[in-house]
Every structure is written in C-alpha cells, then in structure tokens.
Amino acid sequence: QLQLVESGGGLVQPGGSLRLSCAASGFTLGYYAFGWFRQAPGEEREGVACISSSGSSTNYADSVKGRFTISRDNAKNTVYLQMNSVKAEDTAVYYCAAKRTPYYSTILPRWADFSSWGQGTQVTVSS
C-alpha cells in the first residue's frame, strides 16, 4: 500500500532555510511523479513544486521559483523540498503527493492529477 510520510517542518526565521523530506513506501518510485503542495489557514491548497518519475523534469509555482528546489533519491525512497530565503507567506502545512506515470518518464502531471497524499508537516516562518 502506497504510503507517504513528510518530515522536516518547523519554525524558521525569514530569510532562513529548511529541507522537507517525504519518505515513500509500498510502491516502486520509478513509476511515480511527486509533488509538494501547501495550505495556509483559510486558503486553498496550492501546488508548490513537482518532479517527474525520471527526475529530469521539474515545475514550480511562480511564488517559489528561484527559492525552492525539489529533488528525489529513488535509492532512499525519498523526495525532498529545499526551501531557501523563506518568507512569512511560506507559512503553511506542506503535503507530499504522488501520481503514477510511465516508468522513468519526463511527464509532469497537472496539479489536480495528484491522487495520493501524506499527512502534512507544518512550516512556520516567523521572527
């Protein structure tokens, strides 16, 4: 059974850095694209970054381009979100999500196509 577990959230000062991890189990990572989403209080969930099953294609929300980096290590069954130069508006619960695609594909799913979710990890940016 597919399972995603996020970790690495916490309190960070504006301008600081944080790395989120998503440990995946129960499936072969090479068949799945992954995405990071976030939801702030009173806001809808939004896509932040996604990476193809091959790892060769990535996409970012305009609000995080140049600051966040998504990566994956299939040998460790883990997907990462490196967050640099964080801002107060990055405060949210961050979720990892997966979508099955062809094996080692460059395909990037649409944000709405992600169908398997973790439980989320809280990120708070505050001084």
> In the structure encoding, which two tokens stand for residue 40, read together?
């702030």
Q: Could you tell me whether strands 121-125 and 10-12 are parallel, antiparallel, or unpaired per DSSP bridges?
A: parallel
What does the alpha-carbon distance between residue 16 and residue 37 come to, in Å, rounded to a whole number?
20
Q: What is the pLDDT of residue 1?
A: 80
Q: What is the pLDDT of residue 84?
A: 98
Percent of the chain residues past pLDDT 90, beyond the cut: 94
Residues in the chain where the model's pLDDT stays below 70: none
Tell me: the pLDDT tens digits for 69-89? 999 999 999 999 999 999 999
The contacts of residue 88 (CB under 8 Å, 6+ apart) are: 14, 125, 126
Helix (H, G, I), strand (E, B) or coil at 14: coil
What does the alpha-carbon distance between residue 33 and residue 52 come to, in Å, rounded to a whole number?
4
Q: What is the pLDDT of residue 15?
A: 98
Q: What is the pLDDT of residue 118?
A: 94
Q: What is the pLDDT of residue 28?
A: 87
Per DSSP, the chain holds a count of helices (H) and strands (E) of 0, 11
Q: What is the pLDDT of residue 2?
A: 87
The contacts of residue 44 (CB under 8 Å, 6+ apart) are: none
